[in-house]
Chain A
Amino acid sequence: MQVLEVESVHSADMDHALANALDHAREVMARLTNAVKAQVLGRDDVIELALIALMSDGHVLLEDFPGSGKTTLAKALGEAISDDQAADQKHSLVPIVPFRRIQFTPDLLPSDVTGSAVFDASTNSFHFRHGPIFAHVVLADEINRTSPKVQAAMLEAMGEKQVTVDNQTYALDPLFFVIATQNPLDLVGTYPLPTPQLDRFLFKLRMVHVERDAELEVLNTWQSRRDKTSSRIHVGRSEILQARHAIDAGVYISSAIKTALVDISRTLRADERILQGNSTRSLVLILPALQVLAAMRGRNYVNADDLETLLPPVLTHRVELAPGSADFAKILRDCMRVPMETLARSTLNPTA
């Protein structure tokens, strides 16, 4: 009896600590969101998803027209993150910048992305010059314009968080976040990413033109936003990493939710309108994203709403539709019906 009480008190303490950490994480996310929202107007949904990807260690592929704010979004995100690790001097050798942009062109080489060994006459030896990929936030612009070789190097970095040059492996920062873009219309001379490579991106987002009022607001505030660079809100790199840990530990994903996830993807794979269903990796990747979304919405558990919000952006680019069927949203709705019904009914089941 005594032991039980002690344990419960202990667990209650832990719970309170977790709750506090979660609150802090929420505050970090709110600050990040505000920082980005100050720069990118009328794109709140995309900002939210990009932030979820950042917090859940995923990457985002944006599909949009030129000049629709992709770079602004990536830049705002990158510049909101300040490197507060200089104090402990751990990674002083690797100069990691908050934000880099790589414009992908057909003649780009892998070493242009990752960096290469350069002969230094003063020391009479080669030393590695870090490429633009060594950054917290990397904007990979028009990723489908470059050769598959460069795409492969980029995707390896995204998947493994490391680059390998001359048999030497260089680790990337734990906070390595890629926003890739591709133009959906101008496909001449491009190398479209195949589905397995698309699988590396947590979300593929299609941005639409902002609404009239938001567009007007963009025009009205462009001067003030241009001049106000100094007074930006900053979020420390370690704060983000801590928030990740807090969310990971503090947000509960029930087995009912996991069951629903697995059932939905099994139904999708069995559906005749789908040629190739989503991978198991996609289910693994979606779990932290669900946790982040739940935390953002002020909950310490993942619920059906989170599932309904995140499944479309996560799954749309991971499945291949059979010829003749076009509307994945409808197929997904059909396939979600039964698992979601089971999930909803599970809450009324008596547990003991």
Chain B
Amino acid sequence: MSNAMSKTIHPTALNNSSAVTPGKFTQSLIRGSILAMACWVLSTPLTTVSGSAAGAIGCLLACFWVDRQQRGTSTLLQMRAPALLLLLALTLTVTSVMTGLLLQSAALANLLGAMVLYQSGQSVYWFTLTAAVAIALRHTARRHSWGAIAELLFVASAFVITLAAHQRGMIDRPYFIGDFALIRGLDPSTILMGIGVAAVLALAILLMMENQHRRLPYHAGILATVCFSLLFFVQFFGMPTPQLTNDLGLTGTEGSGSRANNDSPFRDGENNASDREAPVAVVLFRDDYEPAGGAYYFRESAYSEFNGTLLWTAENPDLDQDLVSQFPSSPVDVSAEVPAPELRRRVTTTIGLLAPHRSPFGLDAPVRFEPAPNPNSLRFRQTYTVESLVPEFDFPDLVGRKAGSTDWSLQQWAEYLEMPDDPRYGEFARQLTATLRPEFADDPYAKAMAIKAWLDENGIYSLKNEHAYAVDPAASFLFGDLTGYCVHFAYSATYLYRSLGIPARVGVGYSVPAANRAGGSALLIQAVNGHAWPEIYLQDLGWVIVDPAPRQTLVDMSVEPQDSLQQMLGDMLRDDAAFQAFLDDQAGTSAINWALTLRLLLAMALAAVLSAYAVRVYRASCLGWADEHTLYRVAYRAALDMLAANGIRRRLGESREAFARRLSNTLPAFQTLSNWHLSAAPGYAFDPALALSGGDTGARNPGAGISRQQWLGHTAALRHQLKAQQRWWQSALAIVHPLPWLLSR
């Protein structure tokens, strides 16, 4: 009686047939594939390839398993949700602990090898995890109507997360879609969005079918409209790009950049780390160059003029003549000559800006900016080529020099040394440099290094600080808790240098670790690389960066290297002949393939149509020459074909008698044909053994006595009746119909 009870518990389930029909299998397969795809997308950044593959498989199998459970009889579906979740969590924990133990076992590692062991551990763990998630999702979706929402959200989130990465410029995720699309000049976000929309729609329809929702077409229509309008929005207007916040005022368009809102680089908004991975530019090295300091410095601007409260962009045109503030529309040479060319190397880079910037930046020290052709105006806001004379100074070149330049006017000297009227800077700087060895006691570089060394040792790097609204944030930092970020270090160091009479300024731009290049010729600059640093001017050497790097840090500023994105953007920017040829090649091969495939498809379609006509003609002509004993079958089949060509078909489950009766008013000839056929059908109207014995079955089998002429006559009559009933275009369509024999039954 438990069967009966379960039926009363789930009255809505009564219409669901318990048997697993082929339709159900297809539904399970589609649903499982969609969920597995979502699992795979979500797990890709978190585990190895084999781990996410195992995850997808686990999800698929779990979906199948839950879908095979029958309502009423299944213990799984009758289980309470908290109990199930507890069980799943327990299984997960046990698996996690077990894999952990296995991974630590030295014997297994020796046996299988560490890599295999790690991979299999990941696979097992992710298999269990995704299976548990899938079981939980499917369980709720089958038990509750709101469970469908959880499942939809899960799938949608997988694509939203992927798309959100695209929105922040990570267009390489997942690499095989991004690369495929970009090489063919497509927008990967549209493709991803299309896949996501299709997945969500398909899943929604499946869920509605599962829960027997009545207004399925209505709801599906609304959902489809919303999804597709989203798709069109992205297609035509692009993805909305968020404003970068922690970029030290480097980005932004003229006059409306982030800096316009702030009057101090110390107040550049909340330094949240959410978009720090966002790529802002890609640099293509035309010449090889490894910086001695381990980091590439790209200077966009500098703060050198004291405006009464802090250092600010120089308004005096005599200052900072090595900076270029406007993007070049034609080749522009930097007005100030870069000294010591014999100690520098000429390096050409092409820079593609992914986010709008206020000024062009270049590798220290740029000498010439010129516009570069933009290979992809959708992707790059601005492209230009910079020629730089990069410093290759050795220690002997740096020491023993005088600070400042002899070419400077007194005014320039004064500007480069102006600083807050605070005696503590001078006292502190002298105190720090007092311990220098006598031979370096007057050396500006040695003094600067001493101050940098002290800041390295005592400063604490942190994005959160309390100095932003102090009268002099640098003093608040330096004589306070020494906790701050690059701007604090740069300003403090600059004031300290200036207090010792060394001309110094704060350089602003990007500093990228040299290791990020990973051996390629492209270098990705991310928002997190935004940096400010102090630099001093040494005679006949120019501006030399002396950048404090605090040992203690409260925040992890490391980001994942984006090698594939870096390479992809570099390839896009590298608008050279080889790459163009590669693109053309890609386009060419695909075009040929399309044409060939199309031709092949056409030929196949033509062959299919021709053979269909051949079958039709064969079945229609059978009546003329078939054996007398088979006429009952062949003639009736020809009549059915004729009806099917005119769109008249027996309904599924309708008996032949009922079908003939349905048509008897308009097509009486068919009724006769049908009666003849049925009464002559062995195994239906009489014992087939009689037909086999070849005896005279006339008495029991009136149909057998019907001659070919009678069959032909009634078939012709049927044709006339059909023609009289149908309109001319219906008859014409019936004549060209290739597949009536497939539709007749």
Do A and B associate with each other?
yes
Give chain A's interface residues, CB within 8 Å of chain B: 4, 7-8, 11-12, 15-16, 18-19, 252, 254-257, 270-273, 275, 299-301, 303-305, 307-308, 322-325, 333, 336-338, 340-341, 343-352
Q: How far is the CA of A323 from the CA of B6 in the complex (A)?
A: 11
How many angstroms from the CA of A275 to the CA of B682 in the assembled complex?
37
Instruction: Give A192 Cβ to nearest chain B Cβ, in Å.
Output: 19
State the CA gap A50–B654 with chains docked (Å): 27
List the B residue with the shortest CB-CB distance to A343.
B655
Report A-chain residues with C-beta under 8 Å of the C-beta of B16.
272
Contacts of B650 in A (CB 8 A): 344
10 contacts between A and B (CB under 8 A): A4-B693, A4-B695, A12-B695, A252-B700, A257-B684, A323-B11, A344-B656, A347-B636, A351-B688, A352-B691
Chain B stretch 8-25: residues in CB contact (< 8 A) with chain A: 8, 11, 13-19
**In contact, A275 and B4 (Cβ under 8 angstroms):** yes
Please, which residues of chain A bring their CB within 8 A of the CB of B17?
A: 271-272
Residue of A with least CB distance to B7: A322
Across the interface, which residues of B come within 8 angstroms of A252, CB to CB? Answer: 685-687, 700
Q: Which residues of A contact B690 (CB under 8 A)?
A: 11
Q: Which of B7, B657, B695 contacts A324 (CB 8 A)?
A: B7
A45 to B439, CA, bound (A): 128
Give the total of B residues in contact with A, Cβ under 8 Å. 45
CB distance from A305 to the nearest CB of B (A): 4
- Whether B653 lies near A308 (C-beta < 8 A) is no
Q: Is B681 part of the binding interface, using a Cβ–Cβ cutoff of 8 Å?
A: yes
Knowing A345-B745, A346-B683, A347-B678, the reply to whether A352 touches B699 (Cβ < 8 A) is: no
Mark out the residues of chain B between 698 and 738 whose CB falls within 8 Å of any chain A CB in the assembled complex: 698-700
Chain A residue with Cβ nearest B18:
A272
Tell me whether B655 and A340 are in contact (CB under 8 A).
yes
Complex CA gap A12/B699 in Å reads: 7
Taken together as a complex, chains A and B put the C-alpha atoms of A304 and B674 apart, in Å, by: 13
Asked if B683 and A301 make an inter-chain contact with CB atoms under 8 angstroms apart, the answer reads no
Closest CB-CB distance, A61 to chain B, in whole Å? 26
B8: chain A residues within 8 A (beta carbon): 323-324
Contact call A341/B637, Cβ cutoff below 8 A = no
Which residue of the partner chain, among B15, B656, B691, B696, contacts A8 with CB atoms under 8 Å?
Answer: B696
Say yes or no: B658 contacts A272, CB within 8 Å.
Answer: no
Shortest distance between the CB of A241 and any CB in chain B (Å): 24
Most chain B CB inside 10 Å of its own CB: which residue of A303, A346, A352? A303
CA distance A303 to B8 in the complex (A): 39
Shortest Cβ distance from residue A331 to the other chain B in the assembled complex, whole angstroms = 10
Q: Is the CB of A300 within 8 A of B700?
A: yes
Residue of A nearest to B697 (CB): A15
Chain B residues with a Cβ under 8 A of chain A: 4, 7-8, 11, 13-19, 72, 630, 633, 636-637, 650, 652-658, 677-679, 681-688, 690-693, 695-696, 698-700, 745
Whether B4 contacts A351 by the Cβ 8 Å rule is no
User: Of B14, B682, B684, B700, which is within 8 A of A322 by CB?
Assistant: B14
The interface centre, meaning the residue of B655, B686, B692, B693 with most chain A CB atoms within 10 A of its CB, is B655
Complex Cα distance A308/B653, Å?
11
* Chain A residues positioned under 8 Å from B72 (CB to CB): 272
Known contacts being A272-B16, A348-B636, is A15 close to B688, with CB within 8 Å? no
Bound together, the chains give a CA A66 to CA B745 distance in angstroms of: 48
User: Which residues from A are CB-within-8-Å of B653?
Assistant: 333, 336-338, 340-341
When the two chains form their complex, are residues B633 and A348 in contact, meaning their CB atoms are under 8 A apart?
A: yes
Q: How far is the CA of A246 from the CA of B174 in the complex (A)?
A: 80
Bound CA–CA A301/B679 (angstroms): 8
A337, chain B: closest CB distance, angstroms = 3
List 8 additional contacts besides A254-B683, A337-B653; criterion CB under 8 Å. A254-B686, A305-B655, A323-B7, A333-B653, A344-B650, A346-B684, A351-B692, A352-B691
Q: Of A12, A300, A336, A347, which is within 8 A of B681 by CB?
A: A347
Q: How far is the CB of A341 from chain B (nearest CB, A)?
A: 5
Residue of A nearest to B6 (CB): A272
A320 to chain B, nearest CB (A): 10
Report the Cα distance A348→B630, complex, angstroms. 10
Q: A272-B7, A324-B7 are in contact. Are A254 and B658 (CB under 8 A)?
A: no
A333: which B residues are within 8 A, CB to CB?
653
A13 to chain B, nearest CB (A): 9
